[in-house]
């Protein structure tokens, strides 16, 4: 297991390098000039050229990319073009907001989606199953920003139960978390239902029923463990993407997270902010997927047995070399 984790961590290096190269190329070919935006509509003579030189935009693209990599290796993610402040402290100050809203929305979606998916699978074509399918289809079809605006209109404007943007109190987090959880719940319900339907009629469950085990034990001890494996992958992928995809909720509810920070960088053509946030979020996504793969070893005994066989084979080879 440790060797597998080390190999995966080493694999992150070319992946992240590839992502940074693609981002650098896209910024070079994208329209817009940050120096022109900072200089304004009526710059003084030579002011535009001086700004380009100060920002390092007069250097070739490969030089700028190399300077960025050297800074990252030294723990320096650069300085914002617009605020003139170091970017890494900005990221670390905003990351807890994004982490909190993403983690809580995924957790709530999991606690709601898995039981509903099981209920739908165990009552196939009945009222509960049809209601779960209808709920998931409505949730998937509804745009996240539109649902968020509906929540604001109903609970904040008309009923005045909840604030729109005051995240200093716990009530201020309800609407953004609810708006994010909708799509996640729908995906988990659909995934859980389809996996349970595939598992409940397999031979090993028929054998368990023939041994006299109760239906609850068959479903929740044997079937659920096998059906959860693809669901864990789905939840992990959604969690990794939500760390960078909470943009809509952050913008509508004025949450100072990484999503709004990245969007501000894109709007202002703030290249260091774009590079740093994309690299940071990509590394987070890779780390989340690694943790999900490790979690598979605890859920699926077949994966544990593969690691055990590899470990025994390595031990036999070492004994053979010593002999």
pLDDT digits (tens, 9 = 90+) for 273-308: 999 999 998 898 888 888 887 777 666 666 656 655
- Which pLDDT value is given to residue 111? 92
**Which sequence spans correspond to the domains of the chain?**
16-73, 93-301
Which DSSP helix (H) or strand (E) runs through 275?
A: helix 271-299
Rounded distance between C-alpha atoms, residue 237 and residue 245, angstroms: 12
- Which pLDDT value is given to residue 288? 86
- Which pLDDT value is given to residue 108? 92
Class of domain 93-301: mainly alpha
- What's the average pLDDT block by block, 10 residues per block, for the chain (323 residues)? 76 90 89 83 81 87 90 89 90 90 91 89 85 84 83 88 80 87 87 86 78 78 80 84 76 84 87 91 87 74 59 58 55
- Which pLDDT value is given to residue 52? 87
Contacts of 205 (CB under 8 A, 6+ apart): 199, 218, 222, 223
- Which pLDDT value is given to residue 202? 77
Please give the share of the chain, as a percent, with pLDDT higher than 90.
12
CB-CB contact of 158 with 201 (8 Å): no
Letter string b/e over residues 173-182, b meaning 16 or more CB atoms within 10 A of that residue's CB? bbbbbbbbbb
- Which pLDDT value is given to residue 45? 77
Contacts of 33 (CB under 8 A, 6+ apart): 57, 269
Contacts of 129 (CB under 8 A, 6+ apart): 119, 120, 121, 123, 193
- Which pLDDT value is given to residue 138? 84
pLDDT digits (tens, 9 = 90+) for 57-89: 888 889 999 999 999 988 889 899 888 899 999
Q: At residue 79, what are phi and psi to the nearest 5 degrees?
A: -125, 135
């Amino acid at each position: 297991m440790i060797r597998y984790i080390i190999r995966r961590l080493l694999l992150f290096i070319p992946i992240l390098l590839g992502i940074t190269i693609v981002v650098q190329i896209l910024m070079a070919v994208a329209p817009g000039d940050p120096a022109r935006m900072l200089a304004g509509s009526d710059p003084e003579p030579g002011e535009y050229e001086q700004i380009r030189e100060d920002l390092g935009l007069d250097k070739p693209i490969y030089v700028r990319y190399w300077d960025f990599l050297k800074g990252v290796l030294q723990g320096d993610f650069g300085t914002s073009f617009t605020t003139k402040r170091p970017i890494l402290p900005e990221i670390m100050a905003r990351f807890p907001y994004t982490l909190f809203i993403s983690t809580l929305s995924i957790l709530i979606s999991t606690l709601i989606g898995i039981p509903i998916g099981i209920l739908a699978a165990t009552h196939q074509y009945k009222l509960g199953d049809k209601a779960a399918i209808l709920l998931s289809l409505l949730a998937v079809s509804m745009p996240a920003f539109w649902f968020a605006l509906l929540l604001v209109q109903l609970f904040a404007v008309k009923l005045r139960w909840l604030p729109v943007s005051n995240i200093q109190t716990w009530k201020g987090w309800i609407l953004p978390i609810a708006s994010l959880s909708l799509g996640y719940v729908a995906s988990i319900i659909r995934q859980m239902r389809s996996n349970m339907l595939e598992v409940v009629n397999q031979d090993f469950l028929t054998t368990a029923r023939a041994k006299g085990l109760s239906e609850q034990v068959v479903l929740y001890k044997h079937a659920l463990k096998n059906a959860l494996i693809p669901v864990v992958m789905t939840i992990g992928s959604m969690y990794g993407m939500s760390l960078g995809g909470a943009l809509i909720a952050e913008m509508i509810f004025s949450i100072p997270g990484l999503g709004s920070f990245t969007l501000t960088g894109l709007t202002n053509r703030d290249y260091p902010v774009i590079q740093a946030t994309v690299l940071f979020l990509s590394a987070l996504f890779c780390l989340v997927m690694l943790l999900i793969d490790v979690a598979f070893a605890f859920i699926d005994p077949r994966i544990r047995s593969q690691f055990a066989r590899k470990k025994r084979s390595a031990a036999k080879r070492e004994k053979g070399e010593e002999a």
